[in-house]
Amino acid sequence: MEAFGFQIEVKRTGRKKSASISISGNLVKITVPKSLSDDSVRDLIHLRAPWIKRKFKEQSLKPTSKTKEYVSGEMYLYLGSEYHLKVLNGEEESIKMVGGYLVATIPDFETNRSERVKFLLEGWYQRQADRLLKDKTDRLAKIVGVCPRSVSIKSYKSRWGSCSSNGELTYNWRIILAPHRIVDYVVLHELCHLLEHNHSVRYWAHVERHAPGWRACRDWLRHNQQVLGMGNDRI
E strands of the chain, at which residues? 7-13, 20-24, 27-33, 75-78, 81-89, 94-98, 101-106, 150-154, 161-163, 168-172
* Chain center to CA of 10: 26
pLDDT tens digits for range 78-121:
999 999 999 999 989 999 999 889 999 999 888 889 999 999 99
Residues 23 and 116 in one domain: no
Task: Provide the domain count of the chain.
Answer: 2
pLDDT for the residue numbered 3: 61
| 158 belongs to a structural domain | yes
Residues 94 and 180 in one domain: yes
As a whole number of angstroms, the distance between CA 35 and CA 19 comes to 11
Q: Is the pTM of this model over 0.85?
A: no
Give the mean pLDDT of the chain: 89
**Average pLDDT value for residue range 25-37:** 86
| Residue 48 pLDDT grade (very low, low, confident, very high; cuts 50, 70, 90) | confident
| 2 belongs to a structural domain | no
| Residue 20 pLDDT grade (very low, low, confident, very high; cuts 50, 70, 90) | confident
pLDDT for the residue numbered 60: 66
pLDDT at 24 over 60: yes
**Average pLDDT value for residue range 40-55:** 86
Residues 216 and 112 in one domain: yes
pLDDT at 6 over 90: no
How many C-beta atoms lie closer than 10 Å to residue 55's C-beta? Answer: 16
pLDDT for the residue numbered 235: 40
Its domain, for residue 18, covers: 7-61
Residues 26 and 114 in one domain: no
pLDDT for the residue numbered 234: 44
Average the pLDDT over each of 52-56, 63-67, 123-127, 160-164 and give the range with the smallest value: 63-67
The sheet with strand 168-172 has its strands ordered as 150-154, 168-172, 161-163
Q: List beta partners, residue 24.
A: 27
Residues 34 and 57 in one domain: yes
